[in-house]
Structure 1
Amino acid sequence: MKLFLSYSRHDEEIAHKLANFLNKYHNIWFDKQDILAGDDWSLKIKQGINHCDVLLFLVSPNSLGSTYCAYEVKAAIQQKKTVIPLMLENTLLPPHLAKLQWVFLEDFETGLCELLGALSNRPARAWLWQMLCLLEAIALVVALLI
């Protein structure tokens, strides 16, 4: 599955952690790895959205106020792509996003399990899947602490 990660620069640290984790399971478009020096960044973003199956939108007050994030989400919706809002905190969503089922990432490990379950079309609450996700999430947190 091809994923596109949309986020505000203010949320770059969590976006980077998420992209690194998801790269183990999916092909993820992430500007920091897919736009190189000298590239036409606007064209690269359009191509990334055109070729993705799912747009993951890291929702925060910063991303909701970002012109670039608004463009990316709008383009994905117009192309009938699946958009999954990833809530970094409890934030009021605009109407076009409020109708979409979201994943809450305040508890990062639990949110990752739910997201991976949704992306793999497996029930997010299946105990085996949860255990595998939890072990991966713990390994990620430990790696970040070292």
Structure 2
Amino acid sequence: MGLKYKYESTSRRDTKELARNVRPGDRLYVIHDVSQVVAPLEDAQLYSEFIVTKDKAPFTGTPMVCSASAHRQVGGTSVTSLLVRYGEVYTERPVGIRNIAEEPPLLPEFQHLAARVAREHAADVAVARSEAASSGRRRWF
């Protein structure tokens, strides 16, 4: 049987279906609500992506997932734990929501500031390297 678009932790049927129907390599998505009080410049919602691995939970045999941004594809959380932790799990990438692992876009009012800081840093590095070259000492940046 194929995967549904959305699984909810409040339904035992959804929990069992998700654990039964996912296959290694399937991608699962969870949505995070971001507090605008804590991060006023951040998007209101972000999503995380998880990949189902070939690993199984030791006692239950439930498929394991790992974060798609992880360096090693080793399962550390079961799909049922993922569902319980986040409340809802999606099988398709959310449209119009940015991945939490991506860099946020710069606001227009901060783009010129970021460019100026980058230019000044490059100038400082160039001066430090030329001073180090003339003194015979090497510095690593």
TM-score range, shorter chain: under 0.3
Higher fraction of helix: 1
